Amino acid sequence: MHVSHLQLADYRSYEAAYLELEPGVSTFIGPNGQGKTNLVEAIGYVATHSSHRVAHDAPLVRRGAQRAVIRAAVVRHGQTALIELEINPGRANRARLNRSPNTRMRDVLGILHTVLFAPEDLALVKGDPGERRRFLDELLTARAPRYAGVRSDYERVLKQRNALLKSAAAQNLHHRGGRDLPTLDVWDEHLAQIGAELLAARLALVAELQPLAAKAYGELTATQDPISLRYRCSATDEELDTTNRPQLVEILRAALLRARPDELRRGVSLVGPHRDDLQLWLNDLPAKGYASQGESWSYALALRLAGFELLRADGDDPVLLLDDVFAELDAERRRRLASYVRTAEQVLVTAAVPDDVPQELSGARFRVTGGSVERER
Amino acid sequence: MYEGAVQNLIDELGRLPGVGPKSAQRIAFHLLAAETADVHRLVNALVAVKERVRFCAVCGNIAEETQCRICRDPRRDDTVICVVEEPKDVVAIERTREFRGRYHVLGGAISPIEGVGPDDLRVKELMARLSEGRVTEVILATDPNLEGEATATYLARLLKPMGLKVTRLASGLPVGGDLEYADEVTLGRAFEGRRALDF
């Protein structure tokens, strides 16, 4: 798939912008702070309904404006879908698909698929487990939108259960072994059931990612350094080698039972997919703490590339967004990354200086200055 | 801000569910312009609802006497009880005309976030009714959302030792709709709950 048109109104630094894009590589060049990242952020927003830079929508609206509008024409299988998103901070966002006003936000989610590489990706390797859980969950949702529902159900169970634990902790009920909390059993069961569904999906995903990430890392770095993705489940000290849901439900149930005294004392849920981590290993050492800056960065890229390969294998090339990633790499790795991504149907690249972009990625070139975008001829 | 009485009315209306400040203002001015007799009828209806309506001593449904219409009806089947969250759920099920048993209204669903536990629901009353021994089946018809499911699970576990038949309403595709319009969760549930066709 590819984006053929992008129009922005009052989005970040853009009062109005209109771009025509083609399949293949397009490069956006301009000094810092001119709005390059805003362009790829907007395209990413069309795909995921969230920004990779901020958790809330308010910063996406140009200062002084009431709302921001993103319009994108997405071509897939020869069909064009026109997606319009109106971002209203503090109120419900609105969507239109092919100019039909009766469109729900979730109807336009999943039409465009993107894989974004950004400097923030370094947090995949160096950051908290939450970053890696989000990486897995976003990939799950992109492949099967059903998991958006599973994730929100799980969040809801967690909220309810934590509320119950908190009030129990306040009343010191754990002195009696929590016998006064028959409803906790019920929430345990729901956490185990929904948690196991999420867990099974994540484990299956990690198993699929492993060979792809290892291959991508090898090609990026031209090394034989083995990498391994190890899913650490908060419910057990052992490595899980099953994606069988009933079995995972059992494991979660048992762990919840063990953790109950602790949970009642502290008033929070301590077991479940929300406490899991995806450990990244390099040369039999955890990458976090042991890997160099360059290795960490290559590792993060390899994870994103593995995600790209998976989405691609599902049938349709996602649009690749490379936001300022070349500046961090040496010439050799730039070239390798370039030859890797060149095969995608559409690649959008941002860079501060043209020299950062390897020759392999020649294509349409846009100049970004002060909130305007011009194509170079 | 308006003069005393008008602003008071707007404030009171604004506290109703689903009524925002703009709607409250519109309703207030509508009432201001309405005939005195119409307003009195509304006032009487409001007062009557608080003074006359109470909850059925047996099932917890809305009633104007000690027992509600359904609990008083001798033609209803005493062996089946359908457990629902709210009186409006009773009305919804009654519209189907499929169910001829009795009801039990819980008055909500378990939700720790809102501080609602089993003790805040009419669970004890349900257990008392069941201990009379006439009931053979309990249908759990709480909402098909997380809180409703949790309440159903809780009740199912509570009822298990009593040796009753405990059933849960099915969830799946809406009748008369198109498959393509069903959301993923509903469709997923429908797949899970599929059944063999026997002819």
Evaluate if residue B81 carries a pLDDT over 90: yes
User: How large is the average pLDDT for residues B141-147?
Assistant: 93
* Interface predicted TM-score (ipTM): 0.71
B84 shares its domain with B150:
yes
Query: Which of A97, A179, A183, A269 should we substitute to test contact with B (largest number of B Cβ atoms within 10 Å)?
Result: A183
Q: Is residue B57 one of the residues assigned to a domain?
A: no
Q: Which amino acid is at B180?
A: E
B163 shares its domain with B189:
no
Q: Is residue B75 one of the residues assigned to a domain?
A: yes
CATH T-level topology, domain A1-113+316-377: Rossmann fold (3.40.50)
- Taking the C-alpha atoms of residue A42 and residue A13, their distance in angstroms, rounded to an integer, is 11
Residue A50: DSSP 8-state:
S
Residue A180: what pLDDT?
52
Answer yes or no: are the C-beta atoms of A52 and A117 closer than 8 Å. no
B117 shares its domain with B129:
yes
Residue A301: what pLDDT?
93
B162 shares its domain with B126:
yes
Q: Could you give the number of structural domains in chain B? A: 3
Residue A169: what pLDDT?
75
B44 shares its domain with B132:
no
Residue A172: what pLDDT?
63
Residue A144: what pLDDT?
84
- Which residue's structure tokens are 């759920």? B89
Q: The domain that contains B96 carries what CATH number? A: 3.40.1360.10
User: How large is the average pLDDT for residues B60-71?
Assistant: 91
Which positions in chain B touch A186 (Cβ < 8 Å)?
110, 150, 153-154, 157
Answer yes or no: are the C-beta atoms of B122 and B106 closer than 8 Å. yes
Domains A1-113+316-377 and A124-312 share a fold: no
Burial class (CB in 10 A: 0-12, 13-18, 19+), A279: middle
Q: Is residue B61 one of the residues assigned to a domain?
A: no
B81 shares its domain with B160:
yes
Of A106, A160, A190, the CB nearest to B111: A160
- Taking the C-alpha atoms of residue B114 and residue A163, their distance in angstroms, rounded to an integer, is 9
Answer yes or no: are the C-beta atoms of A29 and A366 closer than 8 Å. yes
pLDDT digit string (tens) for chain A, length 377 residues: 999 999 999 999 999 999 999 999 999 999 988 899 999 999 999 998 888 888 889 999 999 999 999 999 999 988 999 999 999 988 889 999 998 888 888 788 888 999 999 988 999 999 999 999 999 999 998 888 788 888 989 999 999 999 999 888 777 654 544 445 778 889 999 999 999 999 999 999 999 999 999 999 999 998 888 999 999 999 998 888 888 999 999 999 999 999 998 998 888 999 999 999 999 999 989 999 899 988 999 999 999 999 999 999 988 899 999 999 888 888 888 888 898 888 899 999 999 988 888 888 888 999 998 888 989 87
Range list of H helices, chain A: 36-48, 105-108, 122-126, 129-143, 146-170, 182-221, 245-266, 287-290, 293-313, 331-341
Residues paired with residue B140 on neighbouring β-strands, in sequence order: B83, B168
B40 shares its domain with B96:
no
**Residue A192's Cα: distance from chain center in Å?**
25
User: How large is the average pLDDT for residues B146-165?
Assistant: 92
Q: Which amino acid is at A298?
A: S
B79 shares its domain with B156:
yes
- Taking the C-alpha atoms of residue A136 and residue A149, their distance in angstroms, rounded to an integer, is 15
CATH T-level topology, domain A124-312: Glutathione S-transferase Yfyf (Class Pi); Chain A, domain 2 (1.20.1050)
Q: Is residue B107 one of the residues assigned to a domain?
A: yes
Q: Which amino acid is at B4?
A: G
Q: Is residue B198 one of the residues assigned to a domain?
A: yes
Residue B147: what pLDDT?
93
Query: Measuring CA to CA, which residue among A54, A40, A17, A11 is closest to residue A319?
Result: A40
Q: Is residue B60 one of the residues assigned to a domain?
A: no
B150 shares its domain with B83:
yes
pLDDT digits (tens, 9 = 90+) for A213-222: 999 999 999 8
Parent domain of B16: 4-52
B79 shares its domain with B30:
no
Residues paired with residue A26 on neighbouring β-strands, in sequence order: A348, A364
Q: Is residue B65 one of the residues assigned to a domain?
A: no
Residue B116: DSSP 8-state:
B
B83 shares its domain with B133:
yes
A218 HSE (CA, 13 A, CB side): 11
CB interface of B with A, residues 110-169, below 8 Å: 110-113, 115, 117-118, 146-147, 149-150, 153-154, 157-158
**C-beta atoms surrounding B154 within 10 Å:** 24
B156 shares its domain with B87:
yes
Each domain of chain A, given as residue ranges in start order, spans 1-113+316-377, 124-312
pLDDT digits (tens, 9 = 90+) for A77-99: 889 999 999 999 888 899 999 98
